[in-house]
Chains A and B, each alone.
Chain A
């Protein structure tokens, strides 16, 4: 389903930030902002939030428990072997493996979560309002229903380069 969008193209980060502030003041909702590098003001401006760190923490916790349990089961319960007279439950050895394996689990889990949540995965088609946004332009996108004179005015005031309309 393609919808029409209003697209504002900025040349400078400052202008973009000012525009966001102005738009937020006027309670005009911005659909999305595309920048060549992360602009924190833009992220905050859109009110985006992420619970990513919590996911990672959870992954780590579960991973560590699972790995420790696995190690304990295999070397103490299932088949305790005598390696050089050491006790079967060799906790110091387990810690090392647990740390590394937990890190691996977190990494893989995080990447997966990132792919899912950010929608970044192999074969995904990039739909860009303006191709230059990955190079040197800062692009704002609005839903058509949010289009208004006021919007355009605010953009103009804050030094927008171009205002286009595009079906995406």
Chain B
């Protein structure tokens, strides 16, 4: 029983990170029907920015996180403007390649600048447990992560449904030509999508490594991205709610299904991929997805 409870909590807190990264992926996918393979590295880099701001510049942790989010948003906006916008949004291959290039480059830069030893990361949530029951315990961290995704999801929903830029964003994702015909400037709108995505991703990594258990290092998101894309695809690449559901699902599969089915622990990644494949076989657009992703 204690074990089960603990596993659920593990699953939730891991899943929360996947969910945040997945939401970042979804933001970009909604706008461009494109997967940003560099999203994980964007987020990792943002994480380092936060670390520098808080541990080396001495900002209070949450201020640091927010500034870090803004910085990575701006970086992403610049990257969108310089590397993404010049290409025809309908032709995906060059764009996928650009993001793969970014994946390699950003990871390398982080390794060069911050080396590969694990770095301590400031705690964002009160340490200790909300309650303890034998070896089972619900940590403030787990609660914190859940609250964070709730806030982010709420924030994004408001942003998309209640603001003008959000309206423009949804219009562009719905029909590019008609959007231009009502006076929406498509470029900046997509740029906005990239910026938001980067900010959310950065928050995701910050929350992930803010766990007392984890540290920050350049490789932190290399497999994390695989889990995140699995989560996003599981939920349907264009649904924010789906991303959350997918993220938590993948997290729980890892922490509960794997051990209880007696799957060797080293296969948890395999399990995640297998689940994804199964779901897609029966629902090719994911659980909550609407888009039929045709071309790449």
Are A and B interaction partners? no
A residues with a Cβ closer than 8 A to B are: none
B residues with a Cβ closer than 8 A to A are: none
